[in-house]
Amino acid sequence: NWQMPDFIQHKVEEIRQTVGNSKVVCALSGGVDSTVAAVLTYKAIGDRLFCIFVDHGLLRKGESQEVEESFKKLSLPFKKVDASEYFLERLKGVENPEQKRKIIGHTFIEVFEREAKEFGAEYLLQGTLYPDVVESAGIEGAKVIKTHHNVGGLPERMNLKLLEPLRELFKDEVRKVGELLGVPENILKRHPFPGPGLAIRILGEVKKEDLEILREADYIFIEELKRWGLYDKVWQAFAVLLPVKSVGVMGDVRTYERVVGLRAVDSTDGMTADWSRLPYEFLDHVMRRIINEVKGINRVVYDISSKPPATIEWE
Ligand code: XMP
């Protein structure tokens, strides 16, 4: 059980000792975990850290630019790589969730590897947290529930040693560390976002048109959560696009279109979760906006499953 100021001091020292005069590369995602890991490591070794931000084309609306601006403000040494077409190509025709995760994981490694080679790093920095370690069976005896793509695989293939300074921490502790390190609020308060991104929120095959639909619906949901002062009250919220069509009526016209699911959960670490009791008026408002504004959607449902027995994500 760490006191966070002690944790920072201890880790900075530990990173310096471990890394020595070598270099470290890091895959920045824009999320809390990798950003805090990068700022902590930057504090320890400065410019011997180099960050790569791979845009896999599975990000939310406006996210790529937003993330880039944040990194610039934090003056982290980074490079952005746009690999979106490449990822989409690889995902063509693939419907199985675990297969999608594996393809994204492998493609990520490939792109990252190519970019990282020049820098001549000996270490790979990852923002792995304690729950990631448990759920990907990084701990003996734990079962594989989902293959979280930031755990396992990378270092052996790349001949890199792994640096995971946040491995013992839970999410709320990482936020405290980030706060102490001066990471801006908008990053610290961001909801968790999975490595495979929107690919696991489009059930079944990932198509470009569907990414656009999901981006719009998700954006409305999140925008309204913020507007109603609810964003900080839920642990994570997002929209999913279902692979079914249902019948509706718009004006006098019959429609036959896709369904969007809204998911909002209360949790402390993502290991267990309960569905958020969002106000009915709020849900009603979001439903109206999504159906009116997002072409291709005529029905919105709210997910009332807890974890367990469901998981937070739908894939
Ligand atoms: P599940 O769906 O397993 O999600 O209940 C628990 C938490 O983990 C996030 N998640 C991931 N994070 N890579 C990540 O970095 C992944 O592959 C991944 N899959 C799920 C999920 O968004 C939730 O916060």
Check whether 32 is labelled as a binding-site residue: yes
Q: Shortest CA distance to 178 belongs to which of 11, 56, 310? A: 11
Q: What is the mean pLDDT of residues 87-91?
A: 98
Q: What is the mean pLDDT of residues 213-241?
A: 98
Confidence label for 186 from pLDDT (cuts 50, 70 and 90): confident
Q: What is the mean pLDDT of residues 37-59?
A: 97
148, 271, 274, 315: residue to mutate for ligand 1 pocket, most atoms within 8 A of CB: 148
Q: Is 148 in the pocket of ligand 1 (CB under 6 A)?
A: yes
> What share of the chain in percent tops pLDDT 90?
82
Q: Is 195 in the pocket of ligand 1 (CB under 6 A)?
A: yes
- Alpha-carbon distance values, 20 to 23, 41, 123, 158 (Å): 9, 12, 11, 20
312, 314, 315: residue to mutate for ligand 1 pocket, most atoms within 8 A of CB: 312
- DSSP class of residue 191? P
Q: Is 70 in the pocket of ligand 1 (CB under 6 A)?
A: no
Query: Cα(152)–Cα(138) distance, rounded to whole angstroms?
Result: 8
Query: Cα(287)–Cα(307) distance, rounded to whole angstroms?
Result: 24
Average pLDDT over all residues of the chain: 92
Give the SS3 label for residue 19. helix
Contact indicator for 250, 294 with CB cutoff of 8 Å: no
Query: What pLDDT shows up at residue 159?
Result: 79
Q: What is the mean pLDDT of residues 17-36?
A: 95
Q: How far, in Å, is the centroid of ligand 1 from the Cα of 119?
A: 30
Q: Is 60 in the pocket of ligand 1 (CB under 6 A)?
A: no
Check whether 33 is labelled as a binding-site residue: yes
User: Is the pLDDT confidence value at 304 over 90?
Assistant: yes
The pTM of this model reads 0.89
Q: Is 126 in the pocket of ligand 1 (CB under 6 A)?
A: no
Helix then strand then coil, in percent of the chain rounded to 5, is 45, 20, 35
Atom of ligand 1 nearest to the CA of 148: 17
Task: List, for residues 274-292, the tens digit of each pLDDT value.
Answer: 999 999 999 999 999 999 9
> What share of the chain in percent tops pLDDT 70?
93
Query: What pLDDT shows up at residue 294?
Result: 98
Q: How far, in Å, is the centroid of ligand 1 from the Cα of 148?
A: 7
User: Is the pLDDT confidence value at 153 over 60?
Assistant: no
Query: What pLDDT shows up at residue 127?
Result: 92
Instruction: For each of the domains in the chain, give its residue range(s) and CATH number, in order of start.
Output: 4-188 (3.40.50.620), 201-302 (3.30.300.10)
Task: List, for residues 248-265, the tens digit of each pLDDT value.
Answer: 999 999 999 999 999 999
